[in-house]
Structure 1
């Protein structure tokens, strides 16, 4: 909300009517694309799964 209303200056009705995908597009258009927070690649996920295997209780 802070980003949508404060930084982007969207009206509350506009902010609340946005879909998550629309908000993401606005943020990418305003601030560019960042790999931070992106979904892990298959290789990264496999490495995490080896490092932190599921344990059965």
Structure 2
């Protein structure tokens, strides 16, 4: 099972880096938070790159194949 929502980190980013008030932060829906966070990253030139294409993934898999586990 996942680790859940990283509330502390989201608060550090929202309150500390983005300058949201606690009330603004806690009133946001998940969709609003995601859009706000994405806009913040874009404004600061750190927008996440788009996912790899299938050919890019296949090239990486060809260049760096998984190693087979050593069996005892």
The structure with more radius of gyration: 2
TM-score (norm 2): 0.48
List per-residue Cα deviations over 1:1-50 (Å, max 9, x = no partner).
Answer: 3321023222335435642x43231123342783x443222222111111
Q: CA RMSD in A?
A: 2.9
> Gaps (5+ residues) in structure 1?
none
Q: How many residues align?
A: 55
Displaced runs of 4+ in structure 1, greater than 6 A? none
